Amino acid sequence: MRPAENMEKLIKKLRFNAGAETHDRILGNVLEALEDSEQQPAKIQPNIRRKIMKSPITKLAAAAVIIGAVMLSIHLWDKTTPSAYAFEQTVEAMQGKRSFHIQTYFQQRRNDEFWAEFDEEGKLVRFRQEEGKDPNRIFVTTWKDGVKSKYYPPPWGVKLMTRVDNLENLAGFDEGFDPETIVQEVHEMVAGGKAVMEIQDPPRYARLMTIHVKLIDGTPLRQVLVVDPVTKFVVRIDDYWDRGENVYHHGIEVLEYNETIDPRLFDPNLPEDTLIMDQVTQEVGMAQGDMSNEEVAVKIVREALDAWAKGDFAKAGKLCGGAPRRMLAEAYAHVRPVRIISIGQPEKIDIATPRFWVPCEYEIKRDGQLEITNQKFVALTVNGCPGRWYVAIWHTR
């Protein structure tokens, strides 16, 4: 597919809703945002560079072979650029990544912060992601040894542990954030004649060098790379793409590259009262069997609420994804059902894995009095356990 077609496809997927919070990697956040906006589409933050500039990464030997041809056939650098620097120096300097620490941006605003470590073959060993605008309310995701842990700060106070062995299913981490991958892809785009590059002569006393990259087929993507001429590392990447009167932006700032990361960062200390939902060492949820997604969503919500109402915390906890007794009996006692009135039709949530809102009407006891409440629970699949579903309750009010 041509870059222009990729752009059109991506832009059509963009959906913005003023005032809604981003829901692109933290389930707790998306649940709250969708509740607040009455399930209007929330912002989707595209990794436009990954989508548009994605191409197979050749081995280092292949990259070396094409450098000579590139130098002869394409004007890669501005004539005012000092001859001491050429982009292949950055390509070579950033080979063999062992770690990186980056800050991402979306629409010029700080977004997520990532730390990642790799083995000698360049495979991800562990990573940490932080997101949240409020420094006192940061969502933290870590992954190592095939276990993904997501911490939802108060008012949730929940740590969700799931099995994620396949990195393609590791929501939150994207190889497109990898500075080495970005540099290689840019180099290959230019080498393949799909983009042109201009390296600007830095102004007097400037410490960093600026590189501009544009696709030659008219795709409205502009990429700006900032390079440290001493280390040859890329320290900043900004993507800008135009759509009518709108200009969208995605940026990556490289805070550290190939530096030693404190291992304690990948095993954060959490408050003692954190509710642990363990989906790794125990089987949770319900098997789907031959039921449709909608059928299993309704059934598991009904059975979970029924068990919860009867005080069967063992069964309710299993159906609620490993929710501990304290979560059902104390932390969320204010929404514990007394009598179920109705279970509505499931509403699909447009996120990667199958999941649905299931509206429920039931009685609760508040201050000794019975009253009717309307809640929406999420039924979704269990990570690492195909065909099993569970109910998320921590977004309830």
CATH of the domain at 234: 2.50.20
Q: Does residue 18 belong to any structural domain of this protein?
A: no
Helix (H, G, I), strand (E, B) or coil at 105: strand
Say what the pLDDT of residue 84 is: 67
Instruction: Indicate whether 12 belongs to any domain.
Output: no
114 and 174 together in one domain: yes
Determine the length of the chain: 397
Residue 5 counted as domain residue: no
**Domain around 252:** 45-257
Which residues of the chain are modeled with pLDDT < 50? 1-83
Q: Which of 257, 274, 300 is the last residue of a domain?
A: 257
223 and 288 housed in the same domain: no
- The answer to whether residue 276 is domain-embedded is no
Clarify whether residues 247 and 291 are in a common domain: no
Tally of structural domains, the chain: 2
CA atoms within 13 A on the CB side of 232: 14
The CATH number that applies at residue 293 is: 3.10.450
Per-residue model confidence (pLDDT) at position 135: 84
* DSSP string across 210-253: EEEEEETT---EEEEEEE-TTT--EEEEEEEEEETTEEEEEEEE
Do both 152 and 194 map to the same domain? yes
CA–CA distance from 106 to each of 28, 102, 113, 182, 231 (Å)? 20, 13, 12, 17, 27
Same domain, 220 and 291: no
pLDDT confidence of residue 108: 82
Asked if 220 and 363 sit in the same domain, the reply is no
Structure confidence by residue, pLDDT tens digits, 260-274? 999 999 999 999 999
Same domain, 248 and 292: no
- Looking at the fold, whether 237 and 308 belong to one and the same domain comes out as no
Q: Which residues contact 55 (CB under 8 A, 6 or more apart)?
A: 185, 188, 189, 192
